[in-house]
Chain A
């Protein structure tokens, strides 16, 4: 153990937070290191979204702290956080006639002064973001004319234009059809592998999460139940505890990807 270990990218310690008047997080601790891809799973109302919002500085914890690179999130300004952390809420909405490129330019907001004209660095970041998210061909299209999958990729491009170290996504595949779900998750995994972008995402579909995320964090009633690789987390016994249902875990004979089916009686 070296004495001068760099602080982890993101760390939560003893986190408590509310959703409305309900206590939604109870003593949650987790560490996210640079370059990780983490999926947060759990049943409805387990505190997944509240945890993500607390990590994104959307919501102040009632106790405990979140640190970004060792610094308390609430000691930093919202802009300073936005230059390092991008947050994509579930099903974000934008004016239908906004073009993809106009949307992505908003990602430069935290990097620009109130009146400063855009710099060449801003333009370059937008161009890169459009290319990496695979929407450069769509740049002139109004959002209202895009398919659900294209629109979600445009939102990812907005987040990339922030040039974040950490990308937080709340159920990014909601409302997408199966093909677009996998396309988006593959994109996120590629960004994680090739661009060293750290990704934390709340996932609804446990099997999908297991397929794409090397590490999973399972919440139950506001507490961390499990934290580890899919092989440890996604077991029939754990799923019974989490979801209160008898489920069996099968594995694809070719890829080894898990599939979850109702257990035979």
Chain B
């Protein structure tokens, strides 16, 4: 199974409609399940805004926005992961590992420290700015007349470690030990509503579409900087554009969800195992799988130990790690 034509049993392009279908099913499940369980008919009625008013309220005000936020966050992080793994040619790269989200944590905690009791809605812009700032710091630290993939990855790891240390130090030395700071650091989608959907979807759409357009760059990047340059790619300019896209995708996601590790790391690999290295397939597939994984994980986080919710970041790790290992064993 390791060699030749057996290696990719479904043709790579066929994985995209399948993943889209899976995403729709998972989203329907996310709308149906919860403290009040809705049957398929009630879900459909709710979505079409007819029938039982309670079901309509549950679907439109509580579950659908949360499912949509989850889908956007998952897609953003997975796409950012594919971009960063492509730029660094490093399978261990993701927005979390490379420090693209660490600035978000520092910024969020700084806001909570300076103005305790700040509502989450006001933390989001700070987190977004913090994330972009840390991404810019990684890029600037890696720059020395050009960017080498290795230096970029190392600068990212350093910024990530610095951000984490700073967050931890502030929390540990502070009396203002707020629940919201902790929940931001753990990541989660508790009580996300339409305002969060509106805040996020333009980024998912714009940066997501832009990311899909970079597929051929990423394919050529896989051959090394020199070969890419020799084929006519303006390597530094392309890399800066890819880094900026990854920063926008990450920043907009973590501003809404807090720091979610794992999705950006594992989903690109899962997509790669299913569909190979061609980024024209890999990018859309990773976006769909990332969205599906996060919606599924969040549904589980809400339902499994109801009425208590567990942070979705823990669930993505608990579901994702074994699923990923199973894929590795059967496909690689």
Give the number of residues in B that approach A within 8 Å (Cβ atoms): 22
Query: Which bracket fits the contact residues of A?
Result: 35 or more
Which A residues, 126 to 173, have Cβ-Cβ distances below 8 Å to chain B? 140-142, 145, 158, 162
Of the candidates A98, A102, A107, the one whose C-beta lies within 8 Å of that of B231 is A107
Q: A residues within 8 A CB of B3?
A: 142, 145
Residue on A nearest B229 in the bound complex, by CB: A58
Is the pair B222, A83 in contact by a Cβ cutoff of 8 Å?
no
Is the pair B231, A109 in contact by a Cβ cutoff of 8 Å?
yes
Is the pair A115, B277 in contact by a Cβ cutoff of 8 Å?
no
Complex Cα distance, B5 from A61, in Å, reads 46
Is the pair A114, B216 in contact by a Cβ cutoff of 8 Å?
yes
B230 contacts the other chain (CB 8 A) = yes
Complex Cα distance, B230 from A83, in Å, reads 10
CB of B276, distance to nearest CB on chain A (Å): 7
Is the pair A98, B230 in contact by a Cβ cutoff of 8 Å?
no
A89 contacts the other chain (CB 8 A) = yes
Which B residues, 196 to 240, have Cβ-Cβ distances below 8 Å to chain A? 213, 216, 219-220, 222-224, 226-227, 229-234
B7 contacts the other chain (CB 8 A) = yes
Complex Cα distance, B219 from A85, in Å, reads 20
Q: B residues within 8 A CB of A78?
A: 229, 232-234
A77 contacts the other chain (CB 8 A) = yes
Of the candidates A58, A98, A107, A142, the one whose C-beta lies within 8 Å of that of B222 is A98
Is the pair B231, A162 in contact by a Cβ cutoff of 8 Å?
yes
Is the pair B227, A92 in contact by a Cβ cutoff of 8 Å?
yes
Complex Cα distance, B229 from A77, in Å, reads 11
Q: A residues within 8 A CB of B277?
A: 95, 97-98
Residue on B nearest A145 in the bound complex, by CB: B3
Q: A residues within 8 A CB of B219?
A: 106
Complex Cα distance, B229 from A109, in Å, reads 11
B246-285, CB under 8 A of A: which get 1 and which 0?
0000000000000000000000000000001110000000
A56 contacts the other chain (CB 8 A) = yes
Q: A residues within 8 A CB of B224?
A: 89, 92-94
B4 contacts the other chain (CB 8 A) = yes
Residue on B nearest A144 in the bound complex, by CB: B3
Instruction: List 9 A-B pairs, minimum CB-CB distance, nearest first.
Output: A82-B232, A79-B232, A87-B230, A110-B232, A89-B226, A109-B231, A78-B232, A95-B277, A94-B223
4 new A-B contacts at CB < 8 Å, known A85-B230, A87-B227, A89-B227: A87-B226, A92-B227, A94-B224, A109-B233
14 contacts between A and B (CB under 8 A): A78-B233, A82-B230, A82-B232, A83-B232, A85-B230, A87-B227, A87-B229, A89-B227, A97-B7, A97-B276, A97-B277, A102-B278, A109-B232, A142-B3
